[in-house]
């Protein structure tokens, strides 16, 4: 079942790339006590994700934070090394890159997709959510092949 507005984010574990190597981060701790703009992409370094999705959040980070967002985070079903390299290549220093290497978070929120026809296997759908102290306040899930409602601009317009 897909997570809904008003639901608590399920307990899972992300892996965050750091200067000291990959660090496990529980979703409970990550979302506790703050407002987080989280967006999910089907894959690091993929065309729309690299050309528009991540760059939009990098560009709008200050505006999102000015409207009360404490943290901006990107998740994808990729490993922490790939997420770290993608974040560096995109100069995404203001964005927490959260690896969901086994797709546990995508599955737990009911937003996994089958990308096997593109050689991607099971991935997370393209979406954004605003999470306040672990509770979903906004959820914007893209239709297959689209990039509209999960953009930084759309989320900013809805704050």
CATH number of the domain enclosing 13 = 3.40.30.10
User: Could you tell me if residue 128 is inside a domain?
Assistant: yes
pLDDT at 56: 95
Known active-site residue 49: yes
Q: Which of 49, 61, 74, 111 is catalytic?
A: 49
* Residues 147/46, Cβ–Cβ less than 8 Å: no
> Tens digit of pLDDT for each residue in 3-50?
999 999 999 999 999 999 999 999 999 999 999 999 999 988 887 878
- Count how many domains the chain has: 1
pLDDT at 50: 80
User: Could you tell me if residue 121 is inside a domain?
Assistant: yes
| Tokens of residue 39, six digits | 């967006």
For the chain, the average pLDDT equals: 94
What is the secondary structure of 88-142 as a DSSP string?
Answer: HHTT-TTEEEEE-TTSHHHHHTT-EEE-GGGT--EEEPSEEEEEETTEEEEEEEP
User: Could you tell me if residue 144 is inside a domain?
Assistant: yes
User: Could you tell me if residue 2 is inside a domain?
Assistant: no
Domain that holds residue 111: 7-158
User: Could you tell me if residue 1 is inside a domain?
Assistant: no
User: Could you tell me if residue 59 is inside a domain?
Assistant: yes
User: Could you tell me if residue 57 is inside a domain?
Assistant: yes
């Amino acid at each position: 079942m897909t997570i809904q507005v008003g639901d608590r984010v399920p307990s899972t574990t992300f892996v965050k790339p750091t200067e000291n190597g990959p660090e496990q981060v529980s979703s409970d701790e990550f979302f506790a006590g703050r407002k987080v703009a989280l967006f999910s992409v089907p894959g690091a370094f993929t065309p729309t994700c690299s050309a528009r999705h991540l760059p939009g959040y990098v560009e709008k980070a200050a505006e999102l934070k000015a409207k009360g967002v404490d943290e901006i985070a990107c998740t994808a079903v990729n490993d922490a090394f790939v997420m770290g390299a993608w974040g560096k290549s995109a100069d995404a220093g203001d964005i927490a890159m959260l690896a969901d290497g086994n797709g546990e978070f995508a599955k737990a929120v009911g937003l996994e997709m089958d990308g096997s026809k593109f050689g991607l296997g099971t991935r997370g759908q393209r979406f954004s959510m605003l999470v306040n102290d672990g509770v979903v306040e906004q959820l914007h899930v893209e239709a297959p092949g689209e990039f509209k409602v999960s953009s930084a601009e759309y989320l900013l317009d809805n704050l």
